[in-house]
C-alpha cells in the first residue's frame, strides 16, 4: 500500500526516449495539484558525480578520518600530527548535512520557491537519461518522493526513434540498436531499484495502456498518489491533439529494425513483458 506523501513531494517520471513520456507529462500537468517539468539533460547524474567526489570510497574515507579535527579548528587550538596526517582532508560537511543541501539545490534550481503555490501536492520532472544509480540517488534525496517508470514495447520505441529521426549521431544501425538496448536495460534496472522502496513509492506505467485507455491509467495514478481524479475534458483535449509526424529515412528505419531484431530485441521484450506482468500482479 502506498504511504501518503506530504504536500510538495517530488513526483519523478523516468522513461527512455520515444516511449510516451512527453504525453504522460502533458497529462500529469492537467491536474491542479501537480506540476511536471521537462528534461534537464541528466542533471541529477552530475550531482551524483559531485556526491561521489565528496563521499566516494577514496575521498569519503579521508574526510571521515579527518573529521575529528574540525572542533579543534573551530576552537583555534593547536593541532599536532602524530600519525603524519592531520587537517589535510578536514571538512565540516558530512553525508547527513550534505543530503539536505543537495536536495535544496536541485529543488530550488528546478522549481524556484517564487513559483510554488499553496495546495501543490507534487512537483517534479521527467527524464530519459537516468538509470539505477540516479534513481537510487533521487530516492535518497527525496525520501517522501514518488516515482513513475514508463515502459513501452522496445521494438515500438526503436521504430518511433528511427521514424522520427531521433537517431544516434555517428552510429550505424547495429551500434544504434546496441545503444538503445543499453538504455532500455538501464531503465528496467532503475525500476528494480525503485520498486523495492518501502511504502509503494514507485509505479510502473505502460505506454500502450496509456494510449489505449488514458482515463483508466490516470485514475490508477491518481489513486496511487492520493489525488482527486483528473478532469476528463482536459484529458480528452490532450489525447485529441495531433501528434508529431514521422520524418525518418525509410531505408535507415529498416536497417535499424533489422539490426535490433537480430540482436537484443527478444531479451528486451522478455524483460518488458515480465515487468508489466509483475506490475499487473502487484
> What percent of the chain is predicted at pLDDT more than 70?
94
Residue with cell 504522460: 24
Residue 118, in any domain of the structure:
yes
9-14 vs 146-151, strand pairing mode: parallel
185: phi then psi, degrees, rounded to nearest 5: -65, -35
Residue 242 lies in a domain: yes
Please give the mean pLDDT across all residues of the chain: 91
Whose cell is 537519461? That residue is: 129
Please, which residues bridge with residue 35 across strands?
123
Band of residue 119 on the pLDDT scale cut at 50, 70, 90: confident
Question: To the nearest 10°, the Cα dihedral for 50, 54, 58, 64?
Answer: -170
CB 142 within 8 Å of CB 103:
yes
Q: Cα–Cα distance between 173 and 69 in angstroms, integer?
A: 57
If you ran DSSP here, which 8-state letter would residue 8 be given?
T
Q: How many domains in the chain?
A: 1
> What are the strands of the beta sheet with 202-206, ordered from one edge?
34-37, 122-127, 9-14, 146-151, 202-206
**45: CB partners within 8 A, 6+ apart:** 129, 130, 133, 134
pLDDT for the residue 3: 66
Average pLDDT over residues 124-149: 98
- Say if 61 falls within a structural domain: yes
Residue-wise pLDDT for 88-105, tens only, equals 999 999 999 999 999 999
Domain membership flag for residue 4: no
Band of the pLDDT at 250, cuts 50, 70, 90? Answer: confident
For residues 179, 23, 155, 216, the Cα torsion angle rounded to the nearest 10 degrees is 140
pLDDT surpassing 90 at residue 84? no
Residue 244 cell numbers, joined: 508529431
pLDDT score of 282 more than 60 = no
Give residue for cell 495514478. 221
Is 3 domain-assigned? no
pLDDT digits (tens, 9 = 90+) for 155-189: 888 888 777 776 677 888 888 889 989 999 999 99
CATH number, domain containing residue 77: 3.40.50
Residue 2 lies in a domain: no
| Alpha helix ranges (H) inside 112-249 | 132-141, 154-163, 173-195, 207-212, 214-225, 232-239
pLDDT at res. 253:
78
What is the model's pTM?
0.93
pLDDT at 169: 75
Q: Identify whether 37 is part of a domain.
A: yes
Region 14-22: mean pLDDT is: 94
What are the tens digits of pLDDT across the range 30-79?
999 999 999 999 999 999 999 999 999 999 999 999 999 999 999 999 98
Please give the distance of CA 245 from its chain centroid, rounded to a whole number: 27
Range of the domain at 163: 9-281
pLDDT of residue 96: 95
Q: How much of the chain exceeds pLDDT 90, in percent?
A: 72
User: Is the pLDDT reported for residue 23 higher than 90?
Assistant: yes
Q: 95 lies in a domain? A: yes
Amino acid at each position: 500500500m502506498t504511504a501518503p506523501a506530504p504536500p510538495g513531494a517530488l513526483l519523478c517520471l523516468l522513461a527512455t526516449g520515444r516511449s510516451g513520456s512527453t504525453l504522460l507529462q502533458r497529462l500529469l500537468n492537467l491536474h491542479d495539484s501537480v506540476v511536471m517539468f521537462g528534461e534537464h539533460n541528466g542533471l541529477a547524474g552530475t550531482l551524483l558525480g559531485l556526491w561521489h567526489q565528496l563521499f566516494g570510497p577514496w575521498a569519503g574515507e579521508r574526510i571521515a578520518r579527518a573529521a575529528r579535527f574540525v572542533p579543534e579548528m573551530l576552537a583555534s587550538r593547536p593541532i599536532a600530527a602524530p600519525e603524519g596526517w592531520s587537517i589535510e582532508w578536514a571538512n565540516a560537511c558530512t553525508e547527513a548535512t550534505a543530503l539536505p543541501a543537495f536536495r535544496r539545490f536541485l529543488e530550488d534550481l528546478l522549481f524556484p520557491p517564487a513559483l510554488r503555490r499553496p495546495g501543490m501536492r507534487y512537483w517534479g520532472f521527467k527524464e530519459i537519461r537516468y538509470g539505477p544509480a540516479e534513481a537510487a540517488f533521487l530516492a535518497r534525496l527525496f525520501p517522501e518522493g514518488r516515482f513513475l517508470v514508463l515502459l513501452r514495447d522496445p521494438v515500438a520505441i526503436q521504430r518511433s526513434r528511427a521514424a522520427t529521426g531521433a537517431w544516434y549521431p555517428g552510429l550505424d544501425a547495429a551500434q544504434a540498436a546496441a545503444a538503445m538496448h543499453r538504455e532500455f536495460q538501464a531503465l528496467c534496472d532503475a525500476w528494480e531499484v525503485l520498486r523495492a522502496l518501502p511504502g509503494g513509492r514507485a509505479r510502473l506505467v505502460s505506454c500502450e495502456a496509456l494510449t489505449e485507455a488514458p482515463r483508466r491509467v490516470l485514475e490508477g495514478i491518481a489513486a496511487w498518489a492520493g489525488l482527486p481524479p483528473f478532469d476528463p475534458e482536459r484529458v480528452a483535449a490532450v489525447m485529441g491533439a495531433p501528434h508529431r509526424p514521422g520524418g525518418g529515412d525509410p531505408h535507415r528505419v529498416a536497417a535499424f529494425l533489422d539490426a535490433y531484431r537480430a540482436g537484443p530485441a527478444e531479451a528486451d521484450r522478455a524483460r518488458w513483458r515480465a515487468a508489466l506482468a509483475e506490475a499487473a500482479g502487484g
